[in-house]
């Protein structure tokens, strides 16, 4: 008799989700799904609001990535006003996005994933977390926490204490960064670099003893999507879309983000509430693609800063063509921290940051605007249609967790197939399944459009929906 194992929700990722593992009659894993309960209401709720309010409104979608929404929304507003924003405003937005990438990647590595590498898969779940890490290696944990704070301080230096909800606005930004602010950031850079290099060392060492995980934690062919610069370089806020396949070949390039609907189809999977985009020309399942750090490093040809470029070379050698293991999202994330720090260091020397020309002003010059930005987790689209007076007629948001949804399902199925036998899932196996999801660092708050974390509930559900076993964690 077919059985269903439900893990609900996943720990150490924000929001609320559950995993279902489907067993066939022989007790073998036949499939798996990562469910996110999306409250579609948010896009509808925005209708009728002025587009100029959207940066502030959408920054509140999520307590984890307000910066990403703020920036993508401001960009969509630029398109509706049909303006080129002042160069200083673009550089300041970029600097804030770099701060966001550093702080979010540091959180993902040190708080959420490093406990598995340092304390082990089999460590008791009560201590296999950042507090356990503090107990086991206080210096490492502290430096990880400080690296995250460094990214947050950049965001605060620009946007104000609790991130001014409307620092980035259609047409530009509200304020620049003075020399004192720059000096404070500059002074913290050496420590941030040292921590990032230490994290890289830890991961590369962990990789030696995690060869099996690297082979089965989401290791499959897929497409990859990310923004790239005009010369094919790494991009995080600007540029155009590139798609590559698992051989590393470019299959679509320099696509204006506003044209995303020509390339992406959106399907609603029966069992999941999250919309699942795919590369239209290849249909499903061939059009499955991944976004985020792994994808960005796969689609780009170079990063443009020395330390990150040296590491990118080593990264690219881990795949024939593209790097196809989602376990290497961790590696890509750490390389992006270094890339981010180098880019921040460079940006601080740009005299434009102190410029007073920060904002272009205009009314509605286009009834449709799309803003795309690379959020830490992957490409974020804000797509607005407005009337002549700038009131929103429709809103479409595509978040990274949506792009990666099919790949996350595939990852869970691959791990479950390898480790799950019968209907008893021991704790270390549960943890490996969860880690498969954590590789993508999904922001469930964004996907569900509701903040908050639920306690962990693991349920083993029989064929008639009857709960065979339930485990409650922390």
In the complex, the residues that contact Mg ion under the rule CB under 5 A are: 396-397
**Nearest CA among 7, 5, 31, 444 for reference residue 269:** 31
Task: Please tell me the count of residues contacting Ni ion according to CB under 5 A.
Answer: 6
Give whole-number Cα distances, 57 to 61, 67, 426, 449, in Å: 7, 12, 43, 12
Q: Which is nearer to Mg ion, 46 or 169 (CB)?
A: 46
- Residue 65's binding partner, choosing from Ni ion, Mg ion, none, with beta-carbon cut-off 5 to 8 A by kind? Ni ion
- Residue 443's binding partner, choosing from Mg ion, Ni ion, none, with beta-carbon cut-off 5 to 8 A by kind? Ni ion
Q: How far is the CB of 63 from Mg ion (least distance, A)?
A: 19
Q: Which is nearer to Mg ion, 323 or 399 (CB)?
A: 399
Q: How far is the CB of 443 from Ni ion (least distance, A)?
A: 3
**Nearest CA among 287, 241, 295, 292 for reference residue 267:** 287
Beta bridge pairs of residue 4: 22, 461
Q: Is 412 in the site for Ni ion (CB under 5 A)?
A: no
Out of 5, 10, 64, 288, point to the residue binding Ni ion (CB under 5 A).
64
d(CA 157, CA 67): 13
Beta bridge pairs of residue 50: 391
Token pair 């994290």: residue: 199
- Residue 407's binding partner, choosing from Ni ion, Mg ion, none, with beta-carbon cut-off 5 to 8 A by kind? none
Among positions 43-62, residues that touch Ni ion (CB under 5 A) are 62
d(CA 221, CA 205): 26
Q: Which is nearer to Ni ion, 195 or 404 (CB)?
A: 404
Q: Which is nearer to Ni ion, 325 or 445 (CB)?
A: 445
Among positions 201-230, residues that touch Ni ion (CB under 5 A) are none
Q: Which is nearer to Mg ion, 114 or 397 (CB)?
A: 397
- Residue 397's binding partner, choosing from Ni ion, Mg ion, none, with beta-carbon cut-off 5 to 8 A by kind? Mg ion
Q: Is 65 in the site for Ni ion (CB under 5 A)?
A: yes
Q: Is 380 in the site for Ni ion (CB under 5 A)?
A: no
Q: How far is the CB of 381 from Mg ion (least distance, A)?
A: 8
Following CA atoms 98, 101, 106, 108 in sequence, which dihedral angle do they give, to the nearest 10 degrees?
Answer: 180
- Residue 445's binding partner, choosing from Ni ion, Mg ion, none, with beta-carbon cut-off 5 to 8 A by kind? Ni ion
Among positions 418-457, residues that touch Ni ion (CB under 5 A) are 443, 445-446
Q: Which is nearer to Mg ion, 29 or 397 (CB)?
A: 397
Q: Which is nearer to Ni ion, 171 or 378 (CB)?
A: 378
Q: How far is the CB of 418 from Ni ion (least distance, A)?
A: 30
Binding site for Ni ion (CB under 5 A): 62, 64-65, 443, 445-446
């Amino acid at each position: 008799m077919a059985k269903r194992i439900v893990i609900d929700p996943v720990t150490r990722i924000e929001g609320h989700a559950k995993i279902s593992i489907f067993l066939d009659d022989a007790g073998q894993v036949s499939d798996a799904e990562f469910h996110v309960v999306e409250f579609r209401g948010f896009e509808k709720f925005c209708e009728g609001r002025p587009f100029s309010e959207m940066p502030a409104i959408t920054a509140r979608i999520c307590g984890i990535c307000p910066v990403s929404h703020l920036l993508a929304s401001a960009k969509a507003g630029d398109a509706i006003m049909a303006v080129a924003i002042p160069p200083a405003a673009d550089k300041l937005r970029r600097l804030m996005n770099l701060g966001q990438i550093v702080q979010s990647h540091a959180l993902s590595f040190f708080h959420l994933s490093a406990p598995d590498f340092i304390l082990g898969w089999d460590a008791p779940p009560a201590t296999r977390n950042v507090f356990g890490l503090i107990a086991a290696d206080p210096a490492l944990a502290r430096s990880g926490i400080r690296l995250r704070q460094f990214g947050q301080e950049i965001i605060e230096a620009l946007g104000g204490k609790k991130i001014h909800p409307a620092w980035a606005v259609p047409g530009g930004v509200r304020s620049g960064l003075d020399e004192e602010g720059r000096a404070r950031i500059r002074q913290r850079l050496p420590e941030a670099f040292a921590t990032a290099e230490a994290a890289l060392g830890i991961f590369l060492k962990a990789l030696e003893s995690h060869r099996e995980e690297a082979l089965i934690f989401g290791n499959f062919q897929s497409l990859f999507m990310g923004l790239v610069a005009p010369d094919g370089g790494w991009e995080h806020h600007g540029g155009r879309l590139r798609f590559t396949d698992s051989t590393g070949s470019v299959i679509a390039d320099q696509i204006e983000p506003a044209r995303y609907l020509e390339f992406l189809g959106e399907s609603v999977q029966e069992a999941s509430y999250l919309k699942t985009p795919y590369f239209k020309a290849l249909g499903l399942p061939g059009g499955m693609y991944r976004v985020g750090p792994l994808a960005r490093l796969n689609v780009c040809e170079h990063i443009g800063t020395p330390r990150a470029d040296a590491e990118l070379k080593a990264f690219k050698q881990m795949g024939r063509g593209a790097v196809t293991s989602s376990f290497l999202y961790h590696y890509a994330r750490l390389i992006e921290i270094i890339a981010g720090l180098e880019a921040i260091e460079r940006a601080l020397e740009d005299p434009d940051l102190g410029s007073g020309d920060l904002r272009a002003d205009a009314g509605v010059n286009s009834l449709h605007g799309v803003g795309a930005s690379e959020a830490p987790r992957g490409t974020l689209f804000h797509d607005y249609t407005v009337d002549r007076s700038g009131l929103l007629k429709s809103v479409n948001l595509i978040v990274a967790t949506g792009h990666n949804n099919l790949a996350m399902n595939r990852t869970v199925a691959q791990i479950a197939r390898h480790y799950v036998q019968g209907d008893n899932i021991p704790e270390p196996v549960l943890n490996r399944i969860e880690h498969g999801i954590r590789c993508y660092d999904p922001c469930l708050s964004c996907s569900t459009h509701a903040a908050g974390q639920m306690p962990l509930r693991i349920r083993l559900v029989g064929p008639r929906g009857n709960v065979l076993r339930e485990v409650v964690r922390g």
